[in-house]
Amino acid sequence: MQTEGQVWVGFDMDECLGQFLSLWPYCETLTRRLFKSQQHEYLSYVAKRLEESDQHWLFRPGIDSVLRLLVAAQNTGKLYGCFILSNNGSQNLVECVRIILNLRSQRFGAQDELFRTGWSRNSPCRKGDMKKTLAEIQDCLAYEGFPGARSLLFFDDMTHVLANEIPAYVKVQPYTYYTPVDLIQHILTPVFNRIRISPTLMKTVSTQSKTMEAADLKDTHLVKSPPRDTEWQEATMALQTFLQIRSAKRGKSVKTYKGTVKSSKKSISPTRKATKSRLWKRY
């Protein structure tokens, strides 16, 4: 595939795509105990099990509307792919989340891998200073064999250097709702049985879970039911504008941050012409 002129959408992970603290002991411990060649297979088991269950709320509820838009854009050649850029210290967790998102995107007709890559704080291409910069993203994409990114939209619940370097930086409300560790353990039990995790490993996971659970109980954000996610609507609108795609209902106006843009070809074509000459798209 052509690598020049790629359009990318990037995401921060924690409290942006979702809240994955309770998943961490499973992804991290599993991958640490497995051979490299086995990791993807077993992480896929975990991902599949979580995908089959609607009992958890690891991902922010609004993520599906964004995935639907991203898949539509990728299938029509308007988007090359997505990536995760996280300052979380666990590359295994980032990879786990990436696999789950790719499985989830198949619900919406994904024909290709939507989330092509993901980087934790410890990835070889990262500088180790926790800054998120455009140069770092370009370096990381090139490191993965994706040079020549043309434009980028990035979602984060925090402001990083990148916010001043690209016009399409969307700061979202942090998603802090926590899925209890017990619930994750319940969902993943068949996976653990299937791969015959040793008692020692189970004990390790259990200990880590208990420690985290104890910490969670002090968390004022702990909830017992899936939350509403109204703030994410704004992110969806920004994405529609960036990708210059119509809303799900034909003929309906597409709302943007700055007023309303009609989705008919006539009214958005001047914008298209204007953005073509720019290196980085504006909305």
Residue 132 lies near Mg ion (rule: CB under 5 A): no
CB of 64 to Mg ion, least distance (A): 20
Angle at CA 245, nearest 5°, toward 240 and 249? 90
Is the CB of 28 or the CB of 157 nearer to Mg ion?
Answer: 157
Residue 95 lies near Mg ion (rule: CB under 5 A): no
CB of 209 to Mg ion, least distance (A): 22
From the list 4-12, 68-76, 106-114, 206-214, the region that binds Mg ion by CB under 5 A is 4-12
Is the CB of 59 or the CB of 80 nearer to Mg ion?
Answer: 59
Is the CB of 71 or the CB of 118 nearer to Mg ion?
Answer: 118
Is the CB of 12 or the CB of 28 nearer to Mg ion?
Answer: 12
From CA 47, how far away is CA 94, in angstroms rounded?
Answer: 12
Is the CB of 47 or the CB of 84 nearer to Mg ion?
Answer: 84
Site string for Mg ion, 145-164 (x = CB under 5 A): ------------x-------
DSSP assignment of 101-141 equals HHHHHGGGT--S-SEEEEE-TT-TTS-SS----HHHHHHHH
Q: Which of 9, 15, 18, 92 binds Mg ion (CB under 5 A)?
A: 15
Establish how many alpha carbons lie within 13 A of residue 118's alpha carbon, considering only the half-sphere containing its beta carbon: 27
CB of 36 to Mg ion, least distance (A): 28
Residue 235 lies near Mg ion (rule: CB under 5 A): no
Q: Which of 11, 14, 43, 232 binds Mg ion (CB under 5 A)?
A: 14
From CA 259, how far away is CA 17, in angstroms rounded?
Answer: 26
Contact 72, 108 (CB under 8 A): yes
Residue 12 lies near Mg ion (rule: CB under 5 A): yes
Residue 84: strand, helix, or coil:
strand
Candidates 101, 52, 44; CA nearest to 74 is 101
Is the CB of 176 or the CB of 247 nearer to Mg ion?
Answer: 176
Take residue 107 and report the two structure tokens written for it. Answer: 């619900």
Residue 177 lies near Mg ion (rule: CB under 5 A): no
Classify the C-alpha dihedral 163-168-171-177 as positive or negative.
negative
Q: Who contacts 193 (Cβ-Cβ below 8 Å, separation ≥6)?
A: none
From the list 11-19, 40-48, 127-135, 241-249, the region that binds Mg ion by CB under 5 A is 11-19
Our separate counts of H helices and E strands in the chain read 9, 7
Is the CB of 86 or the CB of 102 nearer to Mg ion?
Answer: 86
From the list 15-23, 32-40, 117-125, 204-212, the region that binds Mg ion by CB under 5 A is 15-23
Interface residue list for Mg ion (CB under 5 A): 12, 14-16, 157
